[in-house]
């Protein structure tokens, strides 16, 4: 009876947490309900964590002398980790959000790998099947940890260029093969077939898995980082689900399966949006600096004053705005919406066009605009708005590059050929706000910038938008 009640409470808490996870995820499917969905899922996580302390009533008598120490360590870990995450989450800038997501996702994979390590070193797995599941979860979790750390370093500018060597794919395959061989050895030593210490093989196993995560991520170019983050999100979910099976914890199993499935679907959708397979992202060299072929691009970039561009938009009947990472880097989303409200007051039809891989993490542009208070009914995804560009007076592009590059439609030699893009070049007039004449994060020259209907507004996005706001307000003052 002493242990029955806690077990019933744990079961009820796990069931409730699973329901809250699923309900929260459902609400996250819409921008309007996403904030409440996050809170609901967070409540579910709190319930699952608190219920885990009830396991102290079910431990063996021999382990009870260590209970107070273990509980104190758990509480300290929760306080330190939760406090650090709270402070970091409150202070992080929108431009740093991708790398924060990457490193926190890696922490989830590391936690799953840690669970696997505890189970393996403690000899708590029973039977070949359970041991194999533990090893698989540990492998995926370790890969997610080290791979996400490299993704963070790339996004944060610590690693500025992809690292590639001749025969990179063969090296990666060899490391993965060695990891699987060591896993097989651990299975064999568990049954007494080999004499070497099982603990030694476990150390080698995790070392190989961590090295593989690093080697797999280092060659991937910056333009693929949104897909990479999504892939490691799926890895973390899968690892957590597998370790939940080992621990017989329904909350971990359900949460892991939900996160893994969501991450996998998002990865496939983003790969489709780039017209590439996931294998192509992981095992090719997209993202290196691409050199323009002689004669491939005709014309020259044509600069224009910010005020002139603003006045043109003020007297247009329709404007479509394409936000990119440059908008986030300049922290200009508030000024952009201020400018948009001036256009709307002048009876201009304004819409926002979002490409699935715009920015450096999935959904970054949607979050950026929501933060500025842009109404959801003004924000349109690629498939819903692409046909409207041909009948639009002005397309305003802020810090975007590959997602509006017409070379994806016309240049078979381009690394992005075949990728669906926003048809901004088909608008009557195109203005591009850009800090300079660089090629953008992927290093690919954008043919749009040299088009006959495109003009460049050089400068920091926030400074440019301030000038645009002043120009439009000046028209109103002059009319008064």
Residue range 154-177, pLDDT digits in tens: 888 788 777 777 878 888 889 999
Least confident range of 105-119, 132-146, 358-372: 358-372
pLDDT above 50 for 193: no
**Neighbour tally for 199: CB within 10 Å:** 13
**What strand order describes the sheet that includes 379-381?**
379-381, 349-354, 318-323, 394-398, 429-434, 454-458
402 catalytically annotated: yes
The DSSP annotation for 55-93 comes to GGGGS-GGGGGGHHHHHHHHHHHHHHHHHHHHHHHHH--
Q: How confident is the model at residue 294 (pLDDT cuts 50, 70, 90)?
A: very low
Q: How confident is the model at residue 180 (pLDDT cuts 50, 70, 90)?
A: very high
> Same domain for 315 and 242?
no
| Cα four-point dihedral sign 262, 265, 269, 271 | positive
> Same domain for 389 and 278?
no
> Same domain for 164 and 234?
yes
The verdict on residue 93 lying in a domain is no
> Same domain for 361 and 410?
yes
pLDDT score of 428: 93
Q: How confident is the model at residue 33 (pLDDT cuts 50, 70, 90)?
A: confident
**Longest CA–CA separation in the chain, Å:** 92
Number of domains present in the structure of the chain: 3
Q: Decide: 306 and 467 in contact? Cβ < 8 Å.
A: yes
Q: Where is pLDDT greater, at 31 or 316? A: 316
The verdict on residue 31 lying in a domain is yes
> Same domain for 351 and 461?
yes
pLDDT score of 11: 77
Taking only the tens place, the pLDDT of each residue in 197-216 is: 778 889 999 999 999 999 98
pLDDT score of 437: 66
What is the average pLDDT value for the chain, to the nearest integer?
83
Of 280, 359, 298, the closest CA to residue 324 belongs to: 359
The verdict on residue 88 lying in a domain is no
Q: How confident is the model at residue 289 (pLDDT cuts 50, 70, 90)?
A: very low
| Final residue of a structural domain among 218, 253, 288 | 288
| Final residue of a structural domain among 288, 321, 336 | 288
**Neighbour tally for 387: CB within 10 Å:** 10
| Final residue of a structural domain among 42, 58, 74 | 58
> Same domain for 268 and 338?
no
The verdict on residue 30 lying in a domain is yes
The DSSP annotation for 296-357 comes to SS-S---B--HHHHHHHHHT-SEEEEEE-HHHHHTT-HHHHHHHHHHHHHTT-EEEEEE-TT
pLDDT score of 158: 83
The verdict on residue 296 lying in a domain is no
**Containing structural domain, residue 363:** 306-479
Q: What is the mean pLDDT of residues 41-46?
A: 87
Q: Where is pLDDT greater, at 425 or 57? A: 425
The verdict on residue 236 lying in a domain is yes
pTM of the model: 0.78
Q: Is 440 left (phi over 0), alpha (psi -120 to 50) or beta?
A: left
d(Cα 309, Cα 327) in Å, to the nearest integer?
A: 17
Q: Where is pLDDT greater, at 126 or 40? A: 40
Q: Where is pLDDT greater, at 436 or 241? A: 241
d(Cα 304, Cα 400) in Å, to the nearest integer?
A: 18
pLDDT score of 126: 67
> Same domain for 105 and 236?
yes
* Alpha-carbon separation of residue 102 from 76, 231, 357 (angstroms): 24, 10, 16
pLDDT score of 319: 95
> Same domain for 464 and 317?
yes
pLDDT score of 471: 92
The verdict on residue 278 lying in a domain is yes
pLDDT above 60 for 293: no
> Same domain for 126 and 184?
yes
* CATH, residue 391: 3.40.50.1220
> Same domain for 113 and 252?
yes
Taking only the tens place, the pLDDT of each residue in 82-104 is: 888 888 888 887 777 788 888 88
- Averaging pLDDT over each range in 21-25, 220-224, 268-272, 411-415, which range is the top one? 21-25
Q: What is the mean pLDDT of residues 42-57?
A: 81
332 alpha carbon, distance to own chain's centre: 21
Tokens 């994806």 correspond to what residue?
A: 408
Q: Decide: 232 and 106 in contact? Cβ < 8 Å.
A: yes
Instruction: For residue 456, give the 3-state DSSP assignment.
Output: strand
> Same domain for 230 and 268?
yes
Q: Which two tokens stand for residue 204?
A: 């080698």
d(Cα 193, Cα 199) in Å, to the nearest integer?
A: 15
pLDDT above 90 for 369: no
Q: What is the mean pLDDT of residues 309-321?
A: 94
pLDDT above 70 for 432: yes
pLDDT score of 440: 57
d(Cα 169, Cα 47) in Å, to the nearest integer?
A: 44
Choose, from 402, 411, 425, 460, the residue flagged as catalytic: 402
The verdict on residue 167 lying in a domain is yes
> Same domain for 391 and 261?
no
Q: Which two tokens stand for residue 123?
A: 């000899």
């Amino acid at each position: 009876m002493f242990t029955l009640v806690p077990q019933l409470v744990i079961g009820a808490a796990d069931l409730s947490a699973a329901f809250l996870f699923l309900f929260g995820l459902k609400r996250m499917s819409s921008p309007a309900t996403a904030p409440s969905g996050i809170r609901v899922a967070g409540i579910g996580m709190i319930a699952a964590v608190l219920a885990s302390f009830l396991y102290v009533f079910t431990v063996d008598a021999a382990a009870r002398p260590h209970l107070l120490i273990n509980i104190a360590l758990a509480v300290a870990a929760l306080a330190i980790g939760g406090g650090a995450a709270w402070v970091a989450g409150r202070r992080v800038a929108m431009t740093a959000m991708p790398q924060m997501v990457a490193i926190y996702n890696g922490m989830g994979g590391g936690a799953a790998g840690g669970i696997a390590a505890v189970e393996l070193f403690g000899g708590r797995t029973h039977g070949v099947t359970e041991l194999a599941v533990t090893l698989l979860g540990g492998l995926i979790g370790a890969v997610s940890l080290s791979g996400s750390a490299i993704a963070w370093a790339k996004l944060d500018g610590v690693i500025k260029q992809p690292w590639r060597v001749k025969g990179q794919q063969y090296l990666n395959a060899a490391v993965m093969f060695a990891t699987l061989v060591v896993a097989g050895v651990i299975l064999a030593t568990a049954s007494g077939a080999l004499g070497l210490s099982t603990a030694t093989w476990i150390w080698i196993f995790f070392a190989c898995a961590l090295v593989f995560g690093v080697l797999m991520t280092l060659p991937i170019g910056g333009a693929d980082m949104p897909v990479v983050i999504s892939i490691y999100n799926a890895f973390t979910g899968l690892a957590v689900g597998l370790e939940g099976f080992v621990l017989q914890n329904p909350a971990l199993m359900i949460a892991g399966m939900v996160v893994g499935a969501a991450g996998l679907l998002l990865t496939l959708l983003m790969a489709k949006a780039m017209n590439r397979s996931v294998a192509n992202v992981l095992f090719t060299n997209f993202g290196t600096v691409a050199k323009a072929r002689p004669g491939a691009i005709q014309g020259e970039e044509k600069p224009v004053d910010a005020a002139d561009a603003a006045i043109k938009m003020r007297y247009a009947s329709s404007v479509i705005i394409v936000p990119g990472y440059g908008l986030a880097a300049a922290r200009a989303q508030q000024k952009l919406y201020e400018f948009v409200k001036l256009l709307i007051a002048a009876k201009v039809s304004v819409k926002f066009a979002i490409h699935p891989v715009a920015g450096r993490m999935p959904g970054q542009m949607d979050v950026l605009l929501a933060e500025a208070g842009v109404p959801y009914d003004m924000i349109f995804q690629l498939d819903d708005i692409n046909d409207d560009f041909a009948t639009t007076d002005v397309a305003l592009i802020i810090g975007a590059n590959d997602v509006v590059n017409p070379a994806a439609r016309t240049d078979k030699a381009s690394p992005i050929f075949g990728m669906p893009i926003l048809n901004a070049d088909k608008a009557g007039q195109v203005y591009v706000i850009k800090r300079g004449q660089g090629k953008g994060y992927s290093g690919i020259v954008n043919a749009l910038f040299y088009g006959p209907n495109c003009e460049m507004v050089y400068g920091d996005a926030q400074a440019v938008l301030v000038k645009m706001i002043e120009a439009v307000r000046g028209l109103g003052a002059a009319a008064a």
